[in-house]
Amino acid sequence: MSASLIITNASLLTMDPARPRAAAIAVDGNRIVKLGSHAEVMAEKGASTRVVDAGGGSVIPGFVEGHMHLFAGAGELSHLQLYGTRGFAELKARVEAYIRQHPGDDLIIGEQADYVIIGEHEPLSRHHLDAVVKDRPILVFSPDHHTAWANTIALERAGLLKGRKLGPGNEIVMGADGLAQGELREGEAINPVRALSREGGRDRLGLVTGGEPEPYPGKAEFESDLRIMAAGLAHAAAHGITFIQNMDGNLYTLELLEELEKRGQLTARVRVPFHFKNFMDLAVLEKAAAMAARYRSPMLSSGFVKLFMDGVVDSGTAVMVDDYADRPGWRGEPLFEAERFARIAVAADRLGLQIAVHAIGDGAVRTVLDGYEAARKANGQRDSRHRVEHVEVIHPDDIPRFADLGVIASMQPPHPPGCHGLPLEPYLSKIGEARWPYAFAWKALREAGARLVFGTDWPVSDIDPMWSLQSAMTRGRWTDAMPDNRQSLHQALQSYTADGAYAGFMEGQTGVLKEGMLADLCVLPVDLENTDPATFKSIRPRMTVCDGRVVFEG
Ligand SMILES: [Zn+2]
For 276-301, how does the pLDDT look when each residue is reduced to its tens digit (9 = 90+)? 999 999 999 999 999 999 999 999 99
Alpha helices (H) along 43-168: 70-76, 88-101, 126-132, 152-157
Strand order across the beta sheet in which 80-81 lies: 80-81, 108-111, 138-141, 147-150, 180-185, 171-174
- Going from the Cα of 302 to the center of ligand 1, the distance in angstroms, rounded, reads 17
Say whether pLDDT at 63 is over 80.
yes
Contact 377, 349 (CB under 8 A): no
- Going from the Cα of 68 to the center of ligand 1, the distance in angstroms, rounded, reads 6
- Going from the Cα of 55 to the center of ligand 1, the distance in angstroms, rounded, reads 37
- Going from the Cα of 477 to the center of ligand 1, the distance in angstroms, rounded, reads 25
- Going from the Cα of 457 to the center of ligand 1, the distance in angstroms, rounded, reads 5
Q: How confident is the model at residue 134 (pLDDT cuts 50, 70, 90)?
A: very high
- What is the per-residue pLDDT for 46? 96
Q: How confident is the model at residue 346 (pLDDT cuts 50, 70, 90)?
A: very high
DSSP state letter for 434: G
Contact 251, 212 (CB under 8 A): yes
For 416-475, how does the pLDDT look when each residue is reduced to its tens digit (9 = 90+)? 999 998 889 999 999 999 999 999 999 999 999 999 999 999 999 999 999 999 999 999
- What is the per-residue pLDDT for 169? 84
- Going from the Cα of 358 to the center of ligand 1, the distance in angstroms, rounded, reads 7
- What is the per-residue pLDDT for 143? 87
pLDDT above 90 coverage of the chain, percent: 94
Q: Where are the beta strands (DSSP E) in 10-163?
A: 11-13, 21-22, 24-28, 31-36, 50-53, 58-61, 63-68, 80-81, 108-111, 138-141, 147-150
Return the C-alpha torsion angle 332, 336, 341, 347, nearest 10. -160
Q: For residues 160 and 203, what is the distance between their CA atoms, to the nearest angstrom?
A: 23
Q: For residues 335 and 131, what is the distance between their CA atoms, to the nearest angstrom?
A: 35
- Count of CB atoms within 10 A of residue 293's CB? 10
- Going from the Cα of 307 to the center of ligand 1, the distance in angstroms, rounded, reads 10
DSSP state letter for 135: S
- Going from the Cα of 247 to the center of ligand 1, the distance in angstroms, rounded, reads 6
- What is the per-residue pLDDT for 379? 98
Say whether pLDDT at 380 is over 80.
yes
For residues 113-124, average pLDDT: 92
Nearest-10 crossing angle of helices 338-350, 362-379: 40
- Going from the Cα of 463 to the center of ligand 1, the distance in angstroms, rounded, reads 12
Say whether pLDDT at 78 is over 80.
yes
Contact 451, 496 (CB under 8 A): no
Helix, strand or coil for residue 7? strand
- Going from the Cα of 246 to the center of ligand 1, the distance in angstroms, rounded, reads 8
- What is the per-residue pLDDT for 222? 96
Residue of 495, 438, 492 whose CA lies nearest to 470: 492
- Going from the Cα of 270 to the center of ligand 1, the distance in angstroms, rounded, reads 15
- Going from the Cα of 291 to the center of ligand 1, the distance in angstroms, rounded, reads 20
DSSP state letter for 122: B
- Going from the Cα of 452 to the center of ligand 1, the distance in angstroms, rounded, reads 16
- Going from the Cα of 69 to the center of ligand 1, the distance in angstroms, rounded, reads 6
Q: How confident is the model at residue 223 (pLDDT cuts 50, 70, 90)?
A: very high
- Going from the Cα of 76 to the center of ligand 1, the distance in angstroms, rounded, reads 14
For residues 511-521, average pLDDT: 98
Say whether pLDDT at 195 is over 80.
yes
- What is the per-residue pLDDT for 198? 80
- Going from the Cα of 220 to the center of ligand 1, the distance in angstroms, rounded, reads 29
- Going from the Cα of 67 to the center of ligand 1, the distance in angstroms, rounded, reads 6
- Going from the Cα of 203 to the center of ligand 1, the distance in angstroms, rounded, reads 14
Residue of 154, 173, 153 whose CA lies nearest to 163: 173
- Going from the Cα of 360 to the center of ligand 1, the distance in angstroms, rounded, reads 11
- Going from the Cα of 322 to the center of ligand 1, the distance in angstroms, rounded, reads 24
DSSP 143-158: TTSSEEEE-HHHHHHT
For residues 33-49, average pLDDT: 97
Alpha helices (H) along 421-507: 427-431, 442-447, 465-474, 489-496, 498-503
Q: For residues 71 and 75, what is the distance between their CA atoms, to the nearest angstrom?
A: 6
